[in-house]
Amino acid sequence: MAKIIRSQRANTSSVRSAPKKKPAKAARLLPKRGAKKAAKKAAKRTVKPKPWTSEEVYEAFDRFRKANPEPKGELEHLNPYTLLVAVVLSAQATDAGVNKATRALFAVADTPEKMLELGEDRVRDYIKTIGLYRNKAKNVIALSQKLIAEFGGEVPRTRAEIESLPGAGRKTANVVLNMAFGEHTMAVDTHVFRVGNRTGLAPGKTPLEVELGLEKVIPTEFMLHAHHWLILHGRYTCLARGPRCEVCLINDLCRWPEKTV
């Protein structure tokens, strides 16, 4: 019996100490290969592109000007007030969607006084196809009231005053100042933010950083139309998904490491 017990213990010990099988060679290599690819991608992201020279910036905007000498914003409006309302309504919405709603609205209410007469409920009915329309209707009425009470029914001509209006932020102020009053402002929406970062023209972590970066590098002679050129470029060429590098006017200047040409 003692011999049998010792034999069983020996067998158990041999099972416990049996070496683990090594994974197949190909399987062992997979994590390493994946890690190398991830490291390469990370390196591409962390390497800062070479800043544009002033000559390159001039060349880029000169090409934009030659291709489209008088770019226009795509939001339809009748006057500075309707432009202000349209920009407020365009937050998280497309210009085409806003235009579809405001054509009928502006036909009956193209001044703050007429908008107040229309009332919030009816404004809401006109713009109900636009995202966040309930809150936007409140803002349109509130900003109309403030324009009448504090600015004589006119759209103010300073950034701070426009930003004080309900529903209006820095981008709204920049668009209105540029399009209504010819100021050299840079409105940074998602398209301009993407183009500024992707091309390396004015990289920044926030819209304000990109705005200030663009204002710093773009020559004065291009500033009146610069934000329109960049918006249109981002909307129709430098797309968020599937950018059309093959038809890009500035693909030879662009610093994006993943461009397709």
Give CA 65 to chain center in angstroms.
22
The Cα 106–Cα 129 span in angstroms is: 15
DSSP per-residue codes, 122-184: HHHHHTTTSTTHHHHHHHHHHHHHHHHHHHTTS--SSHHHHHTSTT--HHHHHHHHHHHH---
- Confidence band, pLDDT 50/70/90 cuts, at residue 49: confident
pLDDT at 33: 59
Nearest to 218 by CA among 74, 49, 68, 65: 65
CB 97 within 8 A of CB 130: yes
Q: List pLDDT tens digits, range 88-134.
A: 999 889 999 999 999 999 999 999 999 999 999 999 999 999 989 99
**pLDDT over 60 (residue 202):** yes
**Residues identified as active-site:** 171, 189
Rounded mean pLDDT, 218-228: 97
- Confidence band, pLDDT 50/70/90 cuts, at residue 32: low
Does 172 or 8 have the greater pLDDT score? 172
